[in-house]
Each structure stands twice: as C-alpha cells, then as structure tokens.
Structure 1
C-alpha cells in the first residue's frame, strides 16, 4: 500500500458524532495523519496535512463566511507563512504565529491598494507595529500558499 506520509497506515473516512467528517490518511493510533479532507458541522473545511490528529504542515482552510487561508499550519493553528483572505476581499500575505497575523507581511485591500501609508512591515497580534519593506517574506508566503493549494488538489 502506498502511503502519503510517514506513519500513515490506511486511508478511509469517518463521520464523528458531532457531524464532523474526515476522509484521508490515518496512523496506527487511529489519528488523522498524512493528507486529508476535514469538514466541520459549521461548514468550515480543511484540506491538507495532518500530524497526530491535528492540522500540521501545508493546508487550505475555507470558512463559512467566505474567508480562507492557504499556507502553513502547526498543531491546528495558522503558523508560518501563508495568505489569509477575509470575506470582504482584504488579504494578508506574510507570517502567522499561533493562529494570528504575527511577523512580517503586507495587507492588500479589496481594491488592490495597500493603504497610505503602505500597510507593510512587522505585525504583532494583527496590528502593524513597524513599517518595513518585506517583499522577500511576501514572495515566500505566495510560494507557500501556491504549494498548499497544489497539495489540496490531491484526490482523496
């Protein structure tokens, strides 16, 4: 049997009592592990990598209000580089920590402007603290989001 991740031993689906559905890889402990598709009762959807039962690695998450995130996850949180789009079309490309915008990045509004003065630099807890050009971090976030999107096209 071909596995998509070290430790993944089988592939299959399960519907939890709360209505959550999962289709993908599992490890020997019965945890989501490898690539999978998770659909929560509220309509939130995650496609991507799991480690030990939680979202970890590259993935994409769509929310019922139309917001989405493509990028790196760690222990269930947005963590690392990625892109987050709000439902109103505003997006942040850059670094995340513990599920929050935290680190270097760039905000782009729905009209494709960046604000004046430009909303680019170091963010802490979703607030711009220091202005700074960081095109290298934005490019890395775009690359990571593209890799996450490509992985999400994996057939389950």
Structure 2
C-alpha cells in the first residue's frame, strides 16, 4: 500500500523559535508548518494535528495549560467546524464552532453529567444559547470528529 503524501509537504523536521515555541512536523516549500505536526507554545498550550500554510487547519487536538481541551476541526488557526471543547472545570460543549467561538448547534454538559433544566441544547451565537432545539445529529457528528482528531494524533 502506498501512502498518499500531501503535495505541499517537502520535508519533516523540528524547529525552536526565538519566543520559545517548538514545532516538530512537516513543512512546505515556503518553510511553513504544513501537514501533520506537534506545536508547543511558550505558555504550555499544545497542538497536535494538521497544519496548512503555517496555521492549524483540518483535524487537531489543542490542550491548554489550565486543563481545557478542544478536539475537532480547525480552519486558519481557529476552532471552526464540529468539535468538542472541555473547560478546565469539566463542563463541555459538543457541537459547532465558528472563528474560535461556540457558534451553531450543540449541547452543553456540566461537570456533574447533567445538561441543565431545561436542557442546554440548541443554537448558540458567540457562546450564548439563543434558541432551544434538539440536535442529536450535530452532537453525534461533533463526537465523531473529536474521536477522529484524537485517533489521527495518536498515529503521528
């Protein structure tokens, strides 16, 4: 079996930036992070996943120093698409994200496993629920995308 290689990827390697950021992964012809990689920022934030043109793009996992974590889709460096975000206190949101914010359909689950009463499921804009609506398909898709992001990162 021949593995498909991203045509933009020309080499693999590691680099430590002046600000303390470290990157291990694939690069393109322009010297940008591109393909699969591991990025560790000076504040302890870690990203594992796909990058394109130097930015987190595609499936990935981002873990923050306070214990918060996001698993899902990224676009141009932002949480964007479907995913799951866990706050450090154990609360999580499973659903849609736009431009780094909770935005779209999804479900909030509190650290005790409850979803609130009435259930915090519906349409969110800028992290606030604006309309209650059942959306089990969106929640399932977010869970599946998060699983795929986790699985992909374990094979890098």
Question: What is the TM-score normalised by the length of structure 2?
Answer: 0.97
Is residue 137 of structure 2 the alignment partner of residue 136 of structure 1?
Answer: yes
Q: How far apart are the structure 2 equivalents of 1:115 and 1:150? A: 30
Measured against aligned partners, the alpha-carbon deviations of 1:65-118 in whole angstroms (never above 9, x if no partner) come to 000000000000000000000000000000000000000000000000000000
Residue number in structure 2 paired with 1:78: 79
Question: Counterpart of 2:19?
Answer: 18
Q: Secondary structure at the match of 2:10?
A: strand
Alignment of 1:83-122 (within 5 A): 83-122=84-123
Contact 1:83 1:94 in 2 (8 A): yes
CA RMSD of aligned residues (A): 1.0
Relative distance call for 1:142 and 1:108 in structure 2 (3 A) is: same
Distance in 1 of aligned mates of 2:29 and 2:155: 22
Unaligned runs of 5+ residues in structure 2 are none
Residue 6 (structure 1) aligns with: 7
Contact 1:3-1:9 at 8 Å conserved across structures? no
Q: May I ask how many residue pairs the two structures share in their alignment?
A: 154
| Equivalent residue number for residue 60 of structure 1 | 61
What is residue 47 of structure 2 aligned with on the other side?
46
Match of residue 124 from structure 1: 125
Show structure 1 runs of 4+ deviating over 6 A: none
8 Å CA contact 1:6–1:34 kept in 2: the answer is no
